Amino acid sequence: MPYNEDIVKEKYHEKGSKKDLKTKEIHAKRTVERNASGKGIYMQYYSKRNRNKGTELYRNAHVVYASFLDEEEFMKLPRSFHCHDNTLELILAASGSTLAIIDGIPWNAEAGDIIIYNKESYHQELSEKSRGFSLYCVAASGIQLPGLPENHLCDKNAPKVLHTGDDFEMFRILFSRIFEIVRNGSSGQTAMQDSYLKVLLGEVVLRCQQQMSSLSSKSSNKKSHSGEILKWLNDHYTETVSLQLISEAFSLSPDYISHLFKERFGYSPMQYVNYLRIGQAQIRLIETEDRISDIAVDVGFNNIGNFNRTFYSIVGLSPREFRKAHVNP
């Protein structure tokens, strides 16, 4: 928030004078000033705040993990559609550009932009649509904002890509400091990393609210139908899914569903199902030691051969190669 919007109290310490203090309300603009005689006048600024509220919205917020991917790493290890059951992710585009798909909606992001992945939000950055893209990622939990589900920073109609503009460097420092502390693994600095996180969350929420004020949330029947189909696929992708089953669920023709979905999101319903399945398989391959055949069945494939072929066509690596690439050295 610009300084000239905050009324603060200015305390002067004038050197060489018995009358060394006087206080008045001003708009904060400067930190040091000199009087006509050349003697220093030092100012201390006291932020004007409502002392009756005293509520810290992010009291229980804490960092779960943090990462940095340069351009080569990002292109080498692509992730398909996936979601996180218990965490919120914030992505800072450190360089380049990408196309992020969030709950089926495409969002362009460039260097300096922040991408918000709320808890249980299906998302993917498309490597084939990326140019020189590198990123910082911070995942957090313990966030509960008024009127929103746990670990959500904004509602479903809010913008998911925020532009930082002239504040890019400030955000880069916040993300990089959190990443460095987590990478170094010092338990003694946990409080420090969570303090950085709370500053980051506050700044992101402020910008989200500012951009939301100018967002139009008009929707058509087509958007309503495609959104409902998307939600149905998110809920049922581990089961047997076909255009015919979707058609029966919504009393719409298979051809209409396929056309409607592709027109809105850029890919067919069954392509989206495969992206979801492979994305969740990637999470299991990284976070568990479960057998690959068990993972394949759990995410919705009826045989390991089909799973392996689909995985390779989307990721460019076999499931085994992908798991090996993500094992900590």
Q: Which tokens belong to 230?
A: 């998307």
Least-confidence region, from 22-31, 118-127, 245-254: 22-31
β-sheet with 23-27: strand ranges across: 23-27, 7-14, 40-46, 32-34
Give me the pLDDT at residue 214, please: 57
User: Nearest-CA neighbor of 137 among 170, 187, 93?
Assistant: 93
Q: What is the 3-state secondary structure (H, E, C) of 154-174?
A: CCCCCCCEEECHHHHHHHHHH
Q: Are 112 and 93 in contact (CB under 8 A)?
A: yes
Tens digits of residue pLDDT in 168-215: 999 999 999 999 999 888 767 788 888 899 889 988 988 887 776 655
Give me the pLDDT at residue 103, please: 86
Q: Residue 257 and residue 263: Cα distance in Å, rounded? A: 10
Give me the pLDDT at residue 59, please: 79
Least-confidence region, from 30-44, 74-88, 313-327: 30-44
Give me the pLDDT at residue 328, please: 59
Q: What's the Cα-to-Cα distance from 201 to each of 59, 79, 212, rounded to whole Å?
A: 11, 25, 16
- SS3 label, residue 13: strand
Give me the pLDDT at residue 255, please: 86
Q: What's the Cα-to-Cα distance from 61 to each of 26, 35, 178, 234, 261, rounded to whole Å?
A: 34, 46, 13, 27, 37
Give me the pLDDT at residue 213, please: 64
Give me the pLDDT at residue 212, please: 67
Q: Residue 40 and residue 7: Cα distance in Å, rounded? A: 23
Q: Residue 118 and residue 160: Cα distance in Å, rounded? A: 9
User: Nearest-CA neighbor of 122 among 233, 276, 232?
Assistant: 276
**Helix H or strand E segment including 201:** helix 190-212
Q: What is the DSSP letter of 82?
A: B
Tens digits of residue pLDDT in 136-173: 999 999 998 888 899 999 887 788 999 898 899 999 99
Q: Residue 126 and residue 255: Cα distance in Å, rounded? A: 26
Give me the pLDDT at residue 217, please: 41
What residue ranges define each of the domains in the chain, with the CATH number in brackets? 3-46 (no CATH), 62-212 (2.60.120.280), 221-325 (1.10.10.60)
Higher pLDDT, 33 or 225: 225
User: Nearest-CA neighbor of 79 among 276, 310, 296, 293?
Assistant: 276
Give me the pLDDT at residue 329, please: 53
Q: Assess whether pLDDT exceeds 80 at residue 239.
A: yes
Tens digits of residue pLDDT in 8-64: 333 333 334 444 433 333 333 344 444 444 444 444 444 344 433 333 567 788 999
Q: Assess whether pLDDT exceeds 90 at residue 319.
A: yes
Give me the pLDDT at residue 315, please: 87
User: Nearest-CA neighbor of 203 among 238, 169, 244?
Assistant: 169
Q: What's the Cα-to-Cα distance from 64 to each of 27, 34, 149, rounded to whole Å?
A: 39, 48, 18
- For the chain, give the percent of residues with pLDDT over 70: 77
Q: Are 42 and 13 in contact (CB under 8 A)?
A: yes
Mean pLDDT of the chain: 79
Count helices and strands (H / E) in the chain.
Answer: 10, 10
Higher pLDDT, 141 or 77: 141
Give me the pLDDT at residue 191, please: 82
Crossing angle of the two packed helices 269-287 and 243-250, in degrees rounded to 10: 110
Q: 34: which residues sit within 8 A by CB, 6+ positions away?
A: 40, 41
Cβ-in-10-Å burial (0-12, 13-18, 19+) of 70 comes to: middle
pTM: predicted TM-score of the whole model, two decimal places: 0.61
Number of CB atoms found within 10 A of residue 292's CB: 18
Q: Are 197 and 138 in contact (CB under 8 A)?
A: yes
pLDDT confidence tier of residue 222, bands split at 50, 70 and 90 = low
